[in-house]
Chain A
């Protein structure tokens, strides 16, 4: 099979790659580009561990083809911090112990970032429904919700 040549932007950097027509964006990120922060928990769009933002839209990268990234802007967990300055959500996840095993954490952070960009003052219910596409099996979500609430307050004050 001939590869598809793709030019895209990932975390602000111009990136080019060849991928197979049936290869997912998640496979491209992980296996071709070495960006292993997005995780495959299910491969069927049910767990959100592979969440990335494409042109401002939160997606499961396991449900997007690598070829579809052509000409778009992709944001992954690797681009969330500014240099050594953690994003407020990252900092609050650490402070609230909103992670135990941590494998769902990149997906939650991306989903929470997307949520707060669209709704800077979410209620608890809005946070819970906003993050309902991401599965966490360790925390019971309590500390995740509190971390997002705290981060929202910090970001509004900034």
Chain B
């Protein structure tokens, strides 16, 4: 039976309710097991030695003293992780990032590792490893790195995407371009043009759980990996390839995950832990310190963005252009490309052009951070849009409504939109009481829009019906924030049974087919699609068993509210058979009843949000407080509305931290100066107000229930919404994120000095 993923507009019984999550009690009692909460017999402690230099040739590594220390069971360097990547450049970069091969490319780059019987001996052993470095000139700033005089991070990099291959290597790995129409013609038609440059600093996802794993490699070539990850199947592939294992012999179990936000989407220390275990012949637990998480996992890009937008007096945008430079760390990425795609996605534009440049710097490898690359582009564009509305003399919301993309609009990055939510979120904001609330002295209000693509991808789900009629749902997308609850609701909905009879788990890599990782806001979107498909497959069997019991054709049996019903007057004397009854008889009617699903969840519906923010700025100190915040976002269909609200609130809070406070601060020596939560300060409870939410539901036509991804879009508008609010409060356009007190004071001083 082919699965039909189209939206059907059904009435829901379970979906849309707010039950308690199935993993909840474990999490409030301390029983839930995260990456560092698992242990194996004979386990060793792994520790990694990291480069103190931003850029240096590794001339030699002498591990002999460390190896002689009592209690040390293995010491490894890059030699213990031979290059098995077979010309796969992306995998080679991952390998080199896990353990530096020839050069250390950033402060914190791994150069060696030890496994010892306890943490103290492991730390002691690291001090006994002698590394001889030849320190090279470094560059950490994105604009400086893009300059042709900058120290070269990789002399084999020649900028891709130019008409001719450049003669000289460069730190700019790639140029990409998007858009349509003729921006020169469009700007010539404009009555008003705003042109500005913006910068955003590098931030970290800031998950509270550091990366942690337990690796166990056996003498027969089989291995187990327990790890906090957003994608255990992807980790299995990466680790198997880097270690030369057969994928099926490496079982990866995803622990509970203490936050990821994109930062746990590819391997960091896991191949090192496996290599240590292989060498020591014992299991190895490897847990990063917070310092290591900041210095050596994957923060987001620092950016430098130029924006130019023109409009007619009536408020119609005639042309929009942006040039975006994104830092990638020392390895090639596609971060500016994503920024260039998302920059103008909210708008209906005749003439639009965006150009992205990927820039190598001596900082840790950039990783995804919730709607990666979109918040910075939105900050620049939505700031310029606000300024342009002001120059024309139009209300900022009305100006956006006039230019908002709609169904049928060709997006600035290429495709033509189906039904979308940007217009409805703007209308909701226009009529929201927040917009009319009075403001006091030194307070300002800002609003901004945001877009995210959302993703679907490969998904595999098993639904098993027990003899007692209860349902076990095994999914392969890691639950990062309540998806086991939403997927249980979906299974209950489709089967017509109560939520309490469904138990969802995240299965390990040996128990289920391949699943892409939980990224792109795909967890609930794609696994709910696979769950619906699996449930429908199970229902087909349930109907067959009922038909067999009644000895009637299966075509005459329908499934309704958890029961098989014989359809037609001739079957009037047949009482409906419940799922429980059919399950109880399954041993005699053909064996266990299950539904499986393997699919590529295409058709992830794009997502839009509009945020409103009020701030109060202290003109003496430059300190800014967010005093009111409202999120309006399209969810398609909110499967578990409380957790949808949670996603909206969490994204907004991360955006507030990014906008006002968070940044990587590098010294002239290329070393990170604030690798801890004291100096890299994420918002605490007393920094924030309540965060109001409004869920809109514009069904995604490509999902049976209309579901869209909801996790990421909420971090896209805050940088711009807060920048607009601060700019309105102080009367100066803020162009550099974070708007920390010194930056606000400097902007005020510059304004006063004219």
Q: Do A and B come from one complex?
A: yes
* 8 Å CB interface, B69-123 against A: 119-120
Q: How far is the CA of A28 from the CA of B682 in the complex (A)?
A: 28
Q: Chain B 681-704, CB within 8 Å of chain A: the 1/0 string?
A: 011111110110000000000000
Which residue in B36, B287, B688 is a CB contact (below 8 Å) of A140?
B688
**With an 8 A cutoff between CB atoms, is B666 at the interface?**
no
Count of chain B residues near A, Cβ 8 A: 57
In the complex, what distance in Å separates the CA atom of A143 from the CA atom of B685? 11
State whether A41 touches B24 (Cβ < 8 A): no
Chain A contact residues, majority secondary structure? loop
Q: Are B290 and A44 in contact (CB under 8 A)?
A: yes
Decide if B259 touches A137 in the complex (CB within 8 Å).
yes
Taking the nearest CB of chain B, how far is it from the CB of A135, in angstroms? 6
Instruction: Report chain A residues within 8 Å CB of B654.
Output: 137
B167 on interface, CB distance cutoff 8 Å: no
Once the chains bind, are B686 and A132 in contact (CB under 8 Å)?
A: yes
Q: A115-150 vs B: 1/0 string, CB under 8 Å?
A: 000000000010111011111111111111100000
Complex CA gap A40/B36 in Å reads: 9
Which of B205-213, B385-393, B593-601 binds A? B205-213
The answer to whether A101 and B208 have CB atoms under 8 Å apart is yes
Binds A, one of B27-35, B553-561, B577-585: B27-35
* Binary flags per residue of A5-47, CB closer than 8 Å to B gives 1, else 0: 0000000000000001010000100100001111111111011
> Quick check: A101 and B21 within 8 Å, CB to CB?
no
Interface string of A90-115 (1 = CB under 8 A from B): 10011111011111111001000000
Q: Establish whether residues B643 and A135, one from each chain, have CB atoms under 8 Å apart when the complex forms.
A: no
B27 touches A20 (CB 8 A): no
Chain A residues within 8 Å of B119, by CB: 27
If over half of B's interface residues share one DSSP class (helix, strand or loop), that class is named, otherwise mixed; here it is loop
Q: Would you call B677 and A42 a contact (CB within 8 A)?
A: yes
Residue of A nearest to B480 (CB): A101
What are the residues of chain B within 8 A of A139 when measuring CB–CB? 646, 649-650, 653
Which residues from B are CB-within-8-Å of A41?
A: 208-210, 258, 290, 677
CB contacts (< 8 Å) of B209 on chain A: these are 39, 41, 101, 103
Q: Whole-angstrom distance between the alpha carbons of A22 and B207 in the complex? A: 27
Shortest Cβ gap from A50 to chain B (Å): 11
Whether B34 and A39, one on each chain, are in contact in the complex, defined by CB atoms closer than 8 angstroms, is yes
Q: Is A76 an interface residue (CB 8 A)?
A: yes
A154 within 8 A of B: no
Residue of B20, B257, B645, B685 most packed against chain A (CB within 10 A): B685
| Complex: A90 Cα to B604 Cα, angstroms | 35
Let me know if A44 and B208 touch, CB within 8 A. Answer: no
Set of chain B residues within 8 Å of A96, measured between Cβ atoms: 642
Question: Residues of A contacting B36 with CB < 8 Å?
Answer: 30, 36, 39-40
In the docked arrangement, what's the CA distance between A138 and B647, Å? 8
In the assembled complex, which residues on chain A have CB atoms less than 8 Å from the CB atom of B235? none
Using CB atoms, name the residue of chain A closest to B228: A103
- In the complex, are the beta carbons of A77 and B649 less than 8 A apart? no
Q: Is B289 an interface residue (CB 8 A)?
A: yes
Q: Does A49 contact B (CB under 8 A)?
A: yes
Pull 23 A–B residue pairs with CB atoms less than 8 Å apart, ordered by A: A30-B36, A40-B210, A44-B677, A49-B208, A77-B30, A78-B29, A81-B29, A93-B28, A100-B259, A100-B650, A101-B480, A102-B32, A104-B208, A105-B28, A129-B685, A132-B684, A134-B684, A135-B677, A137-B654, A138-B481, A138-B646, A139-B653, A141-B683
Q: Report the 5 A-B pairs with minimum CB-CB distance, sorted nearest first.
A: A37-B30, A103-B258, A140-B653, A102-B27, A140-B649
